[in-house]
Structure 1
């Protein structure tokens, strides 16, 4: 019983740390409220900033991708209980993200600056992106995604079951709405700086590469069901027009 309680506490602490890192990310990317953001911090040379920032983003990409792979999950199962695996992933991802925020070197040289209606529209798209990313986690199973459901099931003494394949709401429009939301939040800004451009470019490259591995894992898990889903629904860019297919031969 004590181990179940500790597992639940571990999951809740990990989720709390995720919440902190996510809220800080809102301010970091948008230059709002937080003391250190993507364009605000101690000045340094552009060369040093580029090297340090790329190393920080590479660290996040490697940790995030390697721990998400089935082979790593099977290996970690040798010493990590199933109820703690997702929480550990969330915990380490949040810690690496907070490290990135802490050690980020701003490069505030402007690339574009907009005002008026254009600035308002870009800011609206920016916040729409964050909303899409966060809402999409609830469209599948938010607490399963961040390890809380597994800990609650284990605390109750039940067996942790896998998730069935579902395509609710935005998942009928694009296969990865969470990533679409992040891309909108990263790129839509009334004031683009070199530092923010570096952040957006590196994260876009990471997302495009990481999704290839994720798609491969989903095909391995769900087989023909996911293959058919891929044929119907685009990865990131919604189709503006859906072509209707008629049954039977033309007359």
Structure 2
């Protein structure tokens, strides 16, 4: 069973990597990935919002401690995080696969200026990857838990740290996501709906996550909240944060 859990975690990690690249290609419509419009705009918007709602509800429910306590009575605790990553990857893949294009153009940048958008998008991707590695990339994707289970050693408990990016913004991963979503030289109405719906989900999801972190880490996290912006960095604000919970 231990080897199966570790193999399962490896497979989910590989799928996560594929979907990460796929979503980046989707957002930039590489090779006309989204295709032409096939439905009336209102119908397309409703389908797209339903897809994002499905992702948001499942993603949020599975992240709640109460759900995890019940869920880990059904599946091995060492596979819980990998399963969370799996459902995220599958539902993001479903969004890309079933997305209904609404190609009305909001803005379109051409010429050398497009490289500014591509550079910003690349920066967002780097911020996301760096943010996961700063707090334990392999724990974030569920490999660390499966590895400790394979070796028969306990998974280290969550600790408070604020390395590098976490001294600038409390949630750099989500900040990077926002950059990737917005940094496109061609913004269509369909893309804008994706951005606004996902941004709303991120804002709501972070409120729940922050409540959980406050319950877990108490006054230390409350001090961190006062000192460091939640989502958008403030370059004029001095950060004194020193703690942060592991993902």
TM-score scaled by length of structure 1: 0.91
| Helix, strand or coil at the partner of 1:231 | helix
Counterpart CA distance in 2 for 1:117 and 1:55 is 37
Counterparts of 2:155 and 2:118 in 1: how far apart (Å)? Answer: 41
Q: Is the 8 A contact 2:37 2:102 kept in 1?
A: no
CA distance in 1, matches of 2:128, 2:49: 23
2:3 matched residue in structure 1: 5
> Is structure 2 residue 194 aligned with structure 1 residue 199?
yes
What's the counterpart of residue 238 of structure 1? 233
Cα distance change on mapping 1:46 and 1:137 into 2, 3 Å? same
Alignment of structure 1 residues 88-127 onto 2, 5 Å? 88-116=83-111, 118-127=113-122
Partner residue, 2:71? 76
Match of residue 211 from structure 2:
216
Residue in structure 1 matched with residue 33 of structure 2 by the alignment: 36
Equivalent residue for 1:227, pick from 222, 232, 237: 222
Q: Shift of the alpha carbon at 1:217? A: 0.5
Task: Map Cα deviations across residues 75-97 of structure 1 (whole Å, 9 max, x no partner).
Answer: 11211111010011111111111
Residue in 1 aligned with 2:24? 26
Query: Quick check: 1:41–1:106 contact (8 Å CA) kept in 2?
Result: yes
2:163 maps to which residue?
A: 168
Equivalent residue, structure 1, for 2:244: none
Q: Deviation of residue 219 (structure 1)?
A: 0.6
Q: CA deviation at 1:61?
A: 0.4
CA distance in 2, matches of 1:128, 1:244: 22
Match of 1:142 among 137, 141, 152: 137
Aligned pair in 2 of structure 1 residues 244, 233: CA closer, same or farther (>3 Å)? closer
Can you list the C-alpha shifts for 1:183-234, whole angstroms capped at 9, x where unaligned?
Answer: 0111122211000000000001000111000000011111111111111111
The structure with the larger Rg is: 1
Instruction: Write the distance in 2 (CA, Å) between the matches of 1:243 and 1:19.
Output: 35
| Residues 6/197 of structure 1: CA separation in 2 closer, same or farther (3 Å cut) | same
Deviation of the 1:160 alpha carbon: 2.1
Query: TM-score, normalised to structure 2's length?
Result: 0.92
- RMSD after superposition: 1.6
**Is contact 2:167-2:239 (8 Å) kept?**
no
**1:16 equivalenced with 2:11 (yes/no):** no
The answer for unaligned runs of 5 or more in structure 2 is 241-247
Shift, 1:182, TM fit: 0.5
Distance (whole Å) between structure 1 residues aligned to residue 70 and residue 239 of structure 2? 46
Structure 2 residue 52 is the aligned partner of structure 1 residue 57 = yes
SS of residue paired to 1:161: coil
Structure 1 residue runs of 5 or longer lacking an equivalent are 246-251
For residue 177 of structure 2, what is the aligned residue in structure 1? 182
